[in-house]
Amino acid sequence: MADGTQGLSDKALSIFAFAAYHRLLSGERVSSVIRRDGAGHEADPDGVAELERRGLASASETSIDLTEAAQDFTETLVEAMRRAAGA
């Protein structure tokens, strides 16, 4: 696991939760998520900044592109959720 994911804030983790949601729905690896959709959803700016500082993502006005390490972390989160659910 990437050292860059140790001690992430809840604001940063919320972005991974959103990525995990999309991973579970699509069944596919998630490489980016929406940052701001114009319909009320917006990723927390502090969480986005934290991921960028840690080198886990790059963000534009509307999307957050996850690095390979961030994508791996999302997969780890999904696996942990499945284990916790006994799946």
pTM, two decimals, is 0.91
Reduce the DSSP state of residue 59 to 3 states and report it. strand
Residue 62 vs residues 8, 16, 21, 65, 71: alpha-carbon distances, Å: 22, 16, 18, 10, 18
- Comparing CA positions, the residue from 17, 1, 29, 31 lying closest to residue 81 is 17
Structure tokens at 37: 């959709």
Could you read off the pLDDT tens digit of each residue along the chain, which spans 87 residues?
456 899 999 999 999 999 999 999 999 999 999 999 888 889 999 999 999 999 999 999 999 999 999 999 999 999 999 999 997
User: Residues 6 or more apart from 1 whose CB is under 8 A from it?
Assistant: 72, 73, 76
pLDDT attached to residue 75: 98
Q: What is the CA radius of gyration of the chain?
A: 12
User: Residues 6 or more apart from 26 whose CB is under 8 A from it?
Assistant: none
